[in-house]
Chain A
Amino acid sequence: TQLLEQSPQFLSIQEGENLTVYCNSSSVFSSLQWYRQEPGEGPVLLVTVVTGGEVKKLKRLTFQFGDARKDSSLHITAAQPGDTGLYLCAGGNSGGSNYKLTFGKGTLLTVNP
């Protein structure tokens, strides 16, 4: 069974601070996605990384996939209250034709004004 562990589970910071969220596994994934979920809504896809060592930037968000494709991190610079939400990482495998995702439990981020 593949598992993804996210840390920290909860994070409360002030507007303007930087933060990093981690996603770790003992298993190799062929792709890793980061999602953001707000209360009462479904997860919204932020980014997909597929190559070991890959770094992607989305405005103030920087995503990195580990060289061994077992771990990933999400760094937010100068956090804003609008960044508040549940951040989920999800790993996928393209073995055969099954593209189901394995999700971590998420990091609940609160950015205080």
Chain B
Amino acid sequence: GAGVSQSPRYKVAKRGQDVALRCDPISGHVSLFWYQQALGQGPEFLTYFQNEAQLDKSGLPSDRFFAERPEGSVSTLKIQRTQQEDSAVYLCASSPNRTPWEQYFGPGTRLTVT
């Protein structure tokens, strides 16, 4: 079956621009996660949804970051007024209800802020 897909795969934004990153989870997966991965580092948790409810957003680095999953399927991570330190790979993962800790990752969106 289809895995997690993310778009765009690459995004270059000028400092101060707003960006929107999309995630299509595996069909039927209840849980959806966003992670940020800096170069040479492991992924770091940003936020977590169970269906359409955002249960944890403690990892979002600032109020410029906003995530939504309005219908419990596709999710969008929005970054307003991008800064250079926002440059990273943004990974989306989904997991099934039965084993929510087993997360399946998309290929990521590489964001470069110039």
Instruction: Choose one: A40, A101, A102; the contact of B103 (CB below 8 Å).
Output: A101
Q: How large is the interface on B (under 10, 10 to 19, 20 to 34, 35 or more residues)?
A: 20 to 34
Check A42–B42 contact: CB distance below 8 A: no
Name the segment of A14-22, A63-71, A90-98 touching the other chain: A90-98
Residue in contact with A43 in the complex, picked from B31, B48, B91, CB distance below 8 Å: B91
What residue of chain B has the Cβ atom nearest to residue A42's Cβ? B105
Complex contact B42–A99 (CB within 8 A): no
Shortest Cβ distance from B88 into chain A, in angstroms?
Answer: 13
Q: Which residues of A contact B55 (CB under 8 A)?
A: 97-98
- Chain B, Cβ-Cβ closest to A99: B100
Give Cα A102 to B91, complex, Å: 14
Chain B residues with CB under 8 Å of chain A are 4, 31, 33, 35, 40-45, 48, 50, 55-56, 59, 91, 93, 95, 99-108
In the complex, besides A88-B42, A99-B103, A101-B103, 11 extra interface pairs with C-beta distance below 8 angstroms are A30-B101, A33-B103, A40-B107, A43-B91, A48-B102, A90-B43, A99-B31, A99-B33, A100-B33, A103-B44, A105-B40
The residues of A with any CB-CB pair to B shorter than 8 Å are 4, 30-31, 33, 35, 40-45, 48, 88, 90, 92, 94, 97-106
